Structure 1
């Protein structure tokens, strides 16, 4: 059962999507010595109307399984358009590998929650929730995943979905947001000052920036911001506008009146941003503003623009290199994770309540950004098996610490 999970149709760039996915898997296949090809791109229309989010996740899941179970040979992603009428087409996706294969008698377990094939047990790859979820996504898009396989020779997974042709003028969605996980090494680490009246908001933004690698300090009002600015000389300031003691506009005027301040980027955080307030924000010297509530994308995009930053994204790294391991978590990290949230997240994952899972992980990000982002990585790649295992390990470590204390 999927709660809050709907299929939606937007115009998207199919060629860009396939290139993004190809780049995402290229390092992983190269590191295993596998030949990896994406076939059929040149024969496809550039723009389609469909559910890009679900389509992307399903293709990533199928390719992820192919890489996981293939140690030699090749992996191919083939994309074909059938029934080429603008208002009624079928998009055929095929993922073929030369991996370990699946026995005939185990094929019926592929899309069953918590069932595991012998191949999965040998590979120690978990319960395979990702494939079950992918089947649900494809069903919602008007298709069904089918598979053929031969032990020792490989597997072929394919699906067809309803699709329509679009055009560039109808593009309504931004390119798929990529999860920022770090700063590229060839650049200086910027100093960032977070000025935010509410402590919970201040802590959330500070932890988000620290996790990516910024050098961050935070204060709760404009007067403190001016003092820290004089001593620390940050490169970038996130400035809340409405604060006690001294508001953000006055603090910005004081900072921007100095020689150092004129070189410092100040971006306002505001819940209002009406035309009059926009003018006041810019007149005070702010370089830009972001409306509350903001998304992670908003934060990183503005900082990229103002500071000329280069980020490391999730698809640039192997998941194993990014995920924090439970064995490395400190006692304090484990102690502050509320048991009730962890239990609720475990139950939501088991019931495949994807909306609730996302909400709970956002809560964990506010408590500990490194743990929360690890969980986000598992969800981004539909690796719910790893998420469950991760939660079980956290529970075990917390119980061990409780017994020792």
Structure 2
């Protein structure tokens, strides 16, 4: 016997198109509510990256470094969404999520779990604790923005194609790095070679006080763990000098 089955479906847009769309985000749309986002994360490197990803487009943030602090901050501040690391000292993310859900207003907040390693059986554990969703480390800004759109219906304002081209947001060149002093270049090279993302994030923050445009471009690479490309540009810069 031959059976014929027709399954209606919608063809999803390609990952390339999705990435391109979120890559061109300029800010949260001007008519948007004031979204309050709580980051609960004990690792400084990860906090800095996630904080920069969110601040860069206009979200209001607060930080907690363990689950207990996260619960207290939720009670005091009432965020719209929480990025909750699963494994933390003092109180882990699963317990913190359960306690938040027990609060009278705990059902209103969206909670996205964060973990470097996510196995199939753990996904159900995350959801059973009360989490709405999860993401894997390392962070990627396009995934973060997608999750916020999914759970809070966030609307974004996008760069026009010409704006993105003019700002060269995703293209770092040796000429751009020539404005940095020798000490800063040495630090940049060292942190990139040693994959010191925490120190690299701090350095980009310092650069932003003097050169916001360059800082934003470097942030784009750091947030997406494209440090090998930064190294290649640095290498080209030094070759051009000789």
TM-score, reference length from structure 2: 0.65
Query: How many angstroms does 1:172 deviate by?
Result: 6.5
Deviations 1:103-147 (A, max 9, x none): xxxxxxxxxxxxxxxxxxxxxxxxxxxxxxxxxxxxxxxxxxxxx
Structure of higher CA gyration radius: 1
Partner residue, 2:216:
373
Matches within 5 A, 1:33-182: 173-175=15-17, 176-177=19-20, 178-182=23-27
Query: How many angstroms does 1:194 deviate by?
Result: 0.5
Q: Does 1:264 align with 2:101?
A: no
Q: Does 1:278 align with 2:109?
A: no
Partner residue, 2:52:
207
Matches within 5 A, 1:221-300: 221-300=66-145
Structure 1 residues 294 and 245: alpha-carbon distance in aligned structure 2, compared to 1, 3 A threshold? same
Deviations 1:158-185 (A, max 9, x none): xxxxxxxxxxx9x974314223221110
Structure with the larger RCO, 1 or 2 (CA within 8 Å, 6+ apart): 2
Deviations 1:362-391 (A, max 9, x none): 9458732755324578xxxxxxxxx99xx9
Gaps of 5+ in 2: 1-10, 170-179, 221-232, 238-242
Q: Kindly indicate whether the alpha-carbon contact (under 8 Å) linking 2:40 and 2:85 is maintained by their aligned counterparts in 1.
A: yes
CA distance in 2, matches of 1:321, 1:173: 23
Partner residue, 1:318:
163
CA distance in 1, matches of 2:25, 2:202: 14
Structure 1 residues 322 and 252: alpha-carbon distance in aligned structure 2, compared to 1, 3 A threshold? farther
CA distance in 2, matches of 1:201, 1:240: 10
Q: Kindly indicate whether the alpha-carbon contact (under 8 Å) linking 2:113 and 2:134 is maintained by their aligned counterparts in 1.
A: yes
Q: Kindly indicate whether the alpha-carbon contact (under 8 Å) linking 1:364 and 1:372 is maintained by their aligned counterparts in 2.
A: no
Partner residue, 2:223:
none
CA distance in 2, matches of 1:286, 1:270: 12
Aligned to 1:262, what secondary structure does the other structure show?
coil
Q: Kindly indicate whether the alpha-carbon contact (under 8 Å) linking 2:48 and 2:201 is maintained by their aligned counterparts in 1.
A: no
Q: Kindly indicate whether the alpha-carbon contact (under 8 Å) linking 2:45 and 2:201 is maintained by their aligned counterparts in 1.
A: no
Query: How many angstroms does 1:212 deviate by?
Result: 1.0
Structure 1 residues 173 and 239: alpha-carbon distance in aligned structure 2, compared to 1, 3 A threshold? closer
Query: How many angstroms does 1:259 deviate by?
Result: 2.8
Structure 1 residues 375 and 315: alpha-carbon distance in aligned structure 2, compared to 1, 3 A threshold? farther
CA distance in 2, matches of 1:313, 1:286: 29
TM-score, reference length from structure 1: 0.41
- Count residues in correspondence: 188
Deviations 1:22-70 (A, max 9, x none): xxxxxxxxxxxxxxxxxxxxxxxxxxxxxxxxxxxxxxxxxxxxxxxxx
CA distance in 2, matches of 1:302, 1:247: 22
Gaps of 5+ in 1: 1-168, 324-333, 346-355, 378-386, 392-405
Partner residue, 2:230:
none
Query: How many angstroms does 1:210 deviate by?
Result: 1.0
Query: How many angstroms does 1:312 deviate by?
Result: 1.9
Which protein has the bigger strand share? 1
Matches within 5 A, 1:387-402: none
Q: Kindly indicate whether the alpha-carbon contact (under 8 Å) linking 1:234 and 1:264 is maintained by their aligned counterparts in 2.
A: yes
Query: How many angstroms does 1:229 deviate by?
Result: 0.6
CA distance in 2, matches of 1:338, 1:289: 36
CA distance in 2, matches of 1:173, 1:307: 21
Aligned to 2:160, what secondary structure does the other structure show?
helix
Query: How many angstroms does 1:314 deviate by?
Result: 3.0
Structure 1 residues 364 and 250: alpha-carbon distance in aligned structure 2, compared to 1, 3 A threshold? closer
